[in-house]
Structure formats: C-alpha cells, structure tokens
A and B are shown apart, each in its own frame.
Chain A
Amino acid sequence: MWFEGLNKNEDFLKREFNNRNFSILLYYLSTVCKEDDIFDKLISPFYHTELSDDYLKYLLSFPNGLKVTQESEAAEQILDGNVMIYINGLLISVGMKDFKSRAIMESTEENVLQGPKDGLSENINVSINLIRSRYKRESLRTESHSAGSKSKIKLMLIYDAQIADKPALHELKEKLSNIQVDLIQSAGQLQKNIIRSTFNIFPLFMTTERPDRVVKNLSEGKIVVLIEGSSWALIGPATFFDFFESMDDPVQMPLIGQFLVFIRYVALLITLVLPALYIAIISYSPDLLKIQFALLVAGSRMSVPFPSYVEIMFMLIMTEFLIEASIRLPKTVSSTATTVGGLILGQAATEAGLVAEVMIIVISAVAISNFVIPVNSMHQAIRVIRYPLIIMASLLGTIGVVIGLLALIAYLCNLRSLGRPYMKLL
C-alpha cells in the first residue's frame, strides 16, 4: 500500500483505470489539482492509446513529467500539486497544480502618484512573469529553494548573474539553507530568520510588493527572494538610505526627486529627535532658545503639573494607541476613532491643562513626519528607536540626545546586510 501518510486525507484520491491492453493508477490531491485538466490530459488520452509504452512516452513529454523512484519524493510531489501515475511498475509525476491566488492586484502599501500600479502576486510564477516582462536580460537567473521544515514553502531566488554581488549571493544561499524553523509564510518572517538577531530592529532587507522596485534593484545587482503564498519580495543587500527612496522619485524631474528625498531625511530627523529635544530644552537648557520663544513655551506649560518627559511619554503613547487602533479597526469605525483620539483628546488635554499647546504641535509634527518615511519596516524601526532617545534626554538633557544619536550612528555603521555595509554615507 503506497502513500500511507496521505491516505487518511479526504481529498487524497487513488483512481484506477483499465483499457483493453493495460491499466494505470492515479494518485493526487483533488483540492490542489485541476480535475478538468486531469480528465482532458491524462484520462481521455489513456482510452485512446493502445500500448502502455506509448502512453508512458506521452506522459514524459509533459514539460514537468518525470520519473520518481522514492516514495517520499513522490509524496512531496503530490503535496506540491502533481499527479502520480503508476504505470508499468513506474511512478511518473505530472504537474496539474491549481493553487489559488488573487489575480494581479494593485499595490496597496507602497502607493505612488505616477508609477505603475500593479503589485506582485501570491503565485510565484505570476510574480516572475511580471518581473521578466520588465527585465529582459539573458543573465537573469531564477533558482528554487525551500524553507520551513513543516511548511516547505517554495522560495525563488532571482538575480542578474552578470552584476549580482557574488559573496552576498553565496552568503544568502548559505543562510537560506541554514534556516531551521517550522513555518515561514511571509517575507518579514523570512527576513527575521535570515538575520537571526533578537535585538536588531532595523530592517536589513528591503521588503516590497512592487515589481518595478524589484526590477530596479535587480538592475543594481541586488538579489531578490520571492516567497510562495506571499505577495512581498525580499531584496538584499540593502542600505539604510534605500529605505528613503520611493518609486515616485525616478518619475519626477531630477531636482524635484532630490527635493522629495531631502524632505524625507528632514522628516526622519524631526520624528527621531524632536520629542527628545523638547524634553532636553524644557527640562535642562531653556536658555538655548530665544527669550520670546522660551517665554512662550514656559507660558503654555504654566498649568502642566508633570515634568516634560511624563507629558511627552503620555502623548506619544496615546498616539501609538491611535495608530494601532486605526490599523486594526474596521474601516467604518477607524475614522471615528481617529477623530475622537486626535481631535477631542488633544484639545481636551490642553484645555484641562494636562499638556502644553506647544507639545501638541510637537507630537503632531512627530506623528506626521513618521509617516513620510516611504517603507513601512523602516518607519516601524524609527517609531521604536525614539524611546531610548527620550530616556537619554530625560537623564542627561541635550548631551543625552547627542550621545544617543552618536550611539545610533555607531550601531547603524556596525550593521551589515549580506556582508555589505548598511550605513555608508558616500
């Protein structure tokens, strides 16, 4: 009895067919194979063939028809959507897979104004199709790998063999083969398993759902990993600065594109430093400001009963709640939540004298500038890294902010993405 493990499945079928001269046995999972194709391409020709050898030749003429010798290998093929045909004492595998996925959808997480709108698909073949249609070079290579001891998810490594960074490619392959985890279902999860560092919060690989970004990176010698069942691709090696580029930049006139990138770095600085700087200036060195400005801030804080770090932590955490709530809530409710949170909480808090008006401006500026960073994984990292800076500012004032920033620079300079420096200015 073959395929003991699969036998207990409701959707596992074993069908026997006989004609006058010979018989065959088909094994497949009905849920992942196309039944119509099985009938048209396997069963119907079977009744029109006289000799078993001719039918065997016919089976091997399929582009993915192959002889399988081991039962375990055959079981894997069945799980991968192939049909196993037992004929003349041989097992032949023929691909009839029908894994469901969405049609090509619009990219929703990385919006652009003028660039192409299509996004990668959950189906690897469709994604490769989208990439190949934009990048027609002979040197483009696709290599299949798998990861996850239980999920056995198919990964596709794509790179341009002529320009890809060889040591990086070697390192990535090695890391992929060393992944020891049960399940992998998304690009982020794969990234985490490749990096394998508990304390790292910065994304060392770019994740994207845009085929145009994939192609741009391929043409720069980077390596792309597609994951079956996920519409996100992983791109490496990446640098810190890659995360501040949007696919809109090449579409714009050069000066405008550079201006947009510059604006993003300003936003990074504001979102990272402003809360810490507020604490440092208010609590430690108000003398840094011009007198009128210092008096204005002091005046607006007159009724506030807490030190500045309590005030800013309270509002920042409220903002975090608001962001989290608006992501998870159903769309119909989320607008109400933001109105209640943003408008009413902000206004009521200042009127009650719990927080200063200037602080509301600071917090709004911080929240808005955080969203300017175009790649989600980076803006999450920046969101978290603000808090150590705030703690440093609470303890040491301006000096704390500077030391915190220097430590951050040192940390970033020490990071490597597939052996390449992550933070190298020029």
Chain B
Amino acid sequence: MLRVRYYYYLLYLNFVVCIIEFTPKLIYSRRYTSSLSSSLISLIATCLLIMLLEKHMKPFPGQSIAQIMNGTLTHFFQKSLFFCCLVLSYGAGLIFLISYTQIIHRFICPDISFGLLFGVFLFFTVFVSLLDPKSTLFMLEIIVLFQIPVIVIMILLFLLDANIQVDFLVEASSYLLHWPSYQMIAAGAFLFSGYMNRLVFNEHLESSKPMKLLTIVFTVGLLLLLAYYFIPIGYFGLAGIGNDNDIWFTTTNSIRLPHFFIERFLVIFLIMQLGVSLMFVIICWHTSLQFLKQANLFNGGKLKWFWVSFLLVMSFVLWLYMNDSTVRNSLSWLLNIKLLFDIVLVFTIVRCARKRKAVV
C-alpha cells in the first residue's frame, strides 16, 4: 500500500493543470457576474464531497471499485457506471490533449506540424497509461515535485512585480456577492475533482483521515484559487482579460529572467507544464483503462491491444473534427455532466458503505 501523499498529488495535479489551461476561458467568461462566488462555492461543495467519499471509503481498504460495489449493485448497473466513468475520463483526457497541443504549437514550436505533435503526444500518453497503477503514481510524484518549485517561483515573481494593479484586484473582488450559476460551479468543481481518482487507485492507496485531508485541501485550494484567479486580473484588469484564450501563457510570456541564460520564463513554465499536462492525460486514460479492467474487458493480450488501437484510432479521428470552438463547447458540456455524475458516484459509494455496515 502506498502512502496517502499520492492522493494529494492527484488532487494537486488536477487543480494545477485545469486552472492554467482549461478553465480560465470558462471562468473569466462570467467575471462580471457569477465567477468568483461560484468558484468559492464549488470549493466548499467539493470539500464536502471529498469528506463524504473519504469517510465512506474507509471500510474498503485495498479494494477495487468493483469489489466495493459487489453485493450492492447489479453487474449491469456496475458496468454502466464504469462505462460512463470511462467515457468521461477519456473525453477529459482527449479534450485536454488537443487543447494543450494547440498551446504548445502556438507558443513553443509553430514550425513543427500540428499533426506530428499531436501524434507524438498521443502515442506517448497511450503507451504510458498502460503502466501499472503503482508505476503511474511513482511517475506522478516525480513530475509534481519537480513542478512545484517552478510554480512557487512564478507566484513569487508575480507577487513582487510592480506592474500588478491593486485597483484591478479590488474591482474584481467587488463581484463576490453575485448569485452563483450551475455552469460556473461545475467548472470550479472540475478543478478539485482529482478526488475521484480514489475510486481507481483505492487498491494501492492507504485510507486518509478525512478531517486532516479536508483542512489541507480547503486551505491550499483556497490559496491557489485566489492566486490563480487574481494574478492575471492584477496584470490586465477585468476588461483586459476578455479576449485572450490563453491568458496564463500571455501573462507568463511577459516575465523575463535577466540573470538566467534562458530569458523567457514562459519557456521554462511551458516545459514544466507540458510534463504536468501530459501526466494529467495519462492519469485520465489510465483511469479509463482501469475501468475497462474492472468491467473485465481488458484482460488478455489480444483484447488489450484491441483497446489500445481503438484508443489511438478514436483519438486521431476525433482530433480531425475538433477545432478551437468545438474543444471549448465540448469542454463545457463535459464539465456540466461530470459534476452531476461525480455526485451520483459519491452517493453510490455511500450506499455501498451503508449496506456493508448493515451486513456486518
């Protein structure tokens, strides 16, 4: 059994990847109305869901999701649930991969063909997602621990920057008291949705102490949320961030490192972010494959390679039909569904735990 720190890495990875590349487009789209209040509410809501899930996962140490659900749900219902989980995590991974390939193509290597870049990322992520869960977690640890110092330096550079306008921040915070909207809450909740990985990695992870976990997630989550929401606003103001899709990269592109042999901080940031982002896709697709395994559809050599080829071909075909706007639209669809589905899953686990308790 691995220590519970890997669970924190999963939470952190999900947050840091989504906040930078995924959700700014969505969250800032309603910055004059419900964004800030919805984000804070989503933090509280997810913290409650995390506590509920962790508390009710405790009776099942070292058990897979299929073992947990056995006896409570019928096989058909279990398989349907796994199928939905599989599609959602695969979709999240694919949308993310396409979106990040666009960013890399735009900012680092516009001269390499987009198709080649996507192909390389696709092959890499598909094959690495075939690793066993423990190896995936070891890799996650290395990547997250190497990324944290870069993020800390970045936040410090921002905080010490004289170009940040306090007026912008005060203006943005004045929109706190607006009524939240479901779509914004769903977008915010997605930032913290790394806790759902517990379902996949429970076999290999120790149980956590829910209260301790909650305190850490809430504190770190709040600090990061505020930092990530306000830093670009501090630079560009509420009006300035409106038209830019990759606001975080535009912001970091303005930082220079005069005393380092690489001058643009963006390059270092993007390279670290590339590692983290691909890791996120790997975790998403690893999750999908694990759900296939739970549904007994991933055993044996031939079946395994069938699914791998299917994954490759499917991703490639979908990529051909996806441009900037389809990526954004499918993302908001996915987020809206995912929050509801996560709630359903958490309450299913609660039901399983209660039933187990009643039997014992």
Residues of A within 8 A of B (CB): 284-285, 287-291, 293, 396-400, 402-403, 406-407, 409-410, 413-414, 421, 423-426
Q: A289-B261, A396-B112 are in contact. Are A413 and B131 (CB under 8 A)?
A: yes
**B262 engages A289 (CB within 8 Å):** yes
Q: Does B299 contact A (CB under 8 A)?
A: no
Q: Does B310 contact A (CB under 8 A)?
A: no
**A399 engages B112 (CB within 8 Å):** yes
In whole angstroms, how far apart are the Cα atoms of A408 and B274 in the complex?
15
Q: Does B134 contact A (CB under 8 A)?
A: yes
Q: Does B87 contact A (CB under 8 A)?
A: no
B56, chain A: closest CB distance, angstroms: 29
- 0 or 1 for each of B255-269: is its CB under 8 Å from A? (1 = yes): 000000111100100
- A/B interface sample: 17 pairs, CB < 8 A: A284-B109, A289-B263, A290-B262, A396-B116, A396-B120, A397-B109, A399-B104, A399-B274, A402-B275, A406-B124, A406-B275, A407-B124, A410-B128, A423-B138, A424-B141, A425-B138, A426-B141
Q: A289-B262, A289-B263, A410-B135 are in contact. Are A423 and B271 (CB under 8 A)?
A: no
Pick from B111, B132, B145, B271: contact of A284, CB under 8 Å: B111
In whole angstroms, how far apart are the Cα atoms of A45 and B141 in the complex?
70
**B274 engages A414 (CB within 8 Å):** no
In whole angstroms, how far apart are the Cα atoms of A406 and B278 in the complex?
9
In whole angstroms, how far apart are the Cα atoms of A190 and B139 in the complex?
29
A287: nearest chain-B partner, CB-CB:
B264
B107, chain A: closest CB distance, angstroms: 11
In whole angstroms, how far apart are the Cα atoms of A386 and B336 in the complex?
45
B134: nearest chain-A partner, CB-CB:
A421
Q: Does B142 contact A (CB under 8 A)?
A: yes
**A424 engages B262 (CB within 8 Å):** no
Q: A399-B112, A403-B124 are in contact. Are A413 and B139 (CB under 8 A)?
A: yes
In whole angstroms, how far apart are the Cα atoms of A227 and B138 in the complex?
33
B277, chain A: closest CB distance, angstroms: 11
| B: number of interface residues (CB 8 Å) | 32
Q: Does B143 contact A (CB under 8 A)?
A: yes
**B108 engages A410 (CB within 8 Å):** no
Cβ contacts under 8 Å, B104 to chain A = 399
**A410 engages B131 (CB within 8 Å):** yes
Q: Does B176 contact A (CB under 8 A)?
A: no
**B262 engages A288 (CB within 8 Å):** yes
Q: A285-B108, A399-B108, A403-B124 are in contact. Are A410 and B262 (CB under 8 A)?
A: no
B272: nearest chain-A partner, CB-CB:
A402
Pick from A290, A291, A398, A413: contact of B142, CB under 8 Å: A413
**A398 engages B138 (CB within 8 Å):** no
B5: nearest chain-A partner, CB-CB:
A426
Q: Does B350 contact A (CB under 8 A)?
A: no
Cβ contacts under 8 Å, B267 to chain A = 285, 288, 398
In whole angstroms, how far apart are the Cα atoms of A293 and B262 in the complex?
9
**A425 engages B261 (CB within 8 Å):** no
In whole angstroms, how far apart are the Cα atoms of A285 and B268 in the complex?
13
Cβ contacts under 8 Å, A284 to chain B = 109, 111-112
**B261 engages A290 (CB within 8 Å):** yes
A285, chain B: closest CB distance, angstroms: 7
Cβ contacts under 8 Å, A421 to chain B = 134-135, 138
**A398 engages B109 (CB within 8 Å):** yes
**A414 engages B263 (CB within 8 Å):** no
Cβ contacts under 8 Å, A424 to chain B = 138, 141
Give residues 129-170 of B contacting A (CB, 8 Å).
131-132, 134-136, 138-139, 141-143, 145
Q: Does B117 contact A (CB under 8 A)?
A: yes
**B261 engages A410 (CB within 8 Å):** no
In whole angstroms, how far apart are the Cα atoms of A406 and B131 in the complex?
13
In whole angstroms, how far apart are the Cα atoms of A293 and B111 in the complex?
22
In whole angstroms, how far apart are the Cα atoms of A284 and B183 in the complex?
41
**B131 engages A398 (CB within 8 Å):** no
In whole angstroms, how far apart are the Cα atoms of A414 and B137 in the complex?
10
Q: A406-B124, A409-B143, A413-B138 are in contact. Are A398 and B271 (CB under 8 A)?
A: yes
B128: nearest chain-A partner, CB-CB:
A410
Which residue, of B5, B135, B271, has the highest number of chain A Cβ atoms within 10 A? Answer: B135
**B142 engages A423 (CB within 8 Å):** yes
B111, chain A: closest CB distance, angstroms: 7
**A407 engages B128 (CB within 8 Å):** yes
Pick from B5, B135, B261: contact of A293, CB under 8 Å: B261
Pick from A285, A290, A423: contact of B109, CB under 8 Å: A285
In whole angstroms, how far apart are the Cα atoms of A397 and B5 in the complex?
34
In whole angstroms, how far apart are the Cα atoms of A398 and B135 in the complex?
25
In whole angstroms, how far apart are the Cα atoms of A30 and B218 in the complex?
80
**A410 engages B139 (CB within 8 Å):** yes
In whole angstroms, how far apart are the Cα atoms of A60 and B135 in the complex?
56
A286, chain B: closest CB distance, angstroms: 11
- 0 or 1 for each of B98-124: is its CB under 8 Å from A? (1 = yes): 000000100011011000110011001
Q: A396-B112, A398-B109 are in contact. Are A425 and B274 (CB under 8 A)?
A: no
New A-B pairs, 18, CB < 8 Å, besides A398-B108, A402-B274, A414-B135: A285-B267, A288-B267, A289-B261, A290-B263, A396-B109, A396-B120, A398-B109, A398-B271, A399-B274, A400-B120, A403-B121, A407-B128, A410-B139, A413-B131, A413-B136, A413-B139, A425-B141, A425-B145
**B135 engages A413 (CB within 8 Å):** yes
Cβ contacts under 8 Å, B136 to chain A = 413
Cβ contacts under 8 Å, A288 to chain B = 262-264, 267
**A397 engages B120 (CB within 8 Å):** no
A77, chain B: closest CB distance, angstroms: 47
Cβ contacts under 8 Å, B131 to chain A = 410, 413-414
B253, chain A: closest CB distance, angstroms: 12
In whole angstroms, how far apart are the Cα atoms of A128 and B27 in the complex?
68
Cβ contacts under 8 Å, B142 to chain A = 409, 413, 423, 425
A414: nearest chain-B partner, CB-CB:
B135
- 0 or 1 for each of B230-266: is its CB under 8 Å from A? (1 = yes): 0000000000000000000000000000000111100
In whole angstroms, how far apart are the Cα atoms of A55 and B264 in the complex?
90
A424: nearest chain-B partner, CB-CB:
B138
A400: nearest chain-B partner, CB-CB:
B120
**B138 engages A399 (CB within 8 Å):** no
Cβ contacts under 8 Å, A423 to chain B = 138, 142
Give residues 314-335 of B contacting A (CB, 8 Å).
none
Q: When A and B form their complex, which 9 residue pairs have the shortest distance between CB atoms, in order from nearest? A: A413-B138, A413-B139, A414-B135, A413-B135, A410-B128, A290-B263, A425-B141, A288-B267, A424-B138
B258, chain A: closest CB distance, angstroms: 8
A423: nearest chain-B partner, CB-CB:
B138
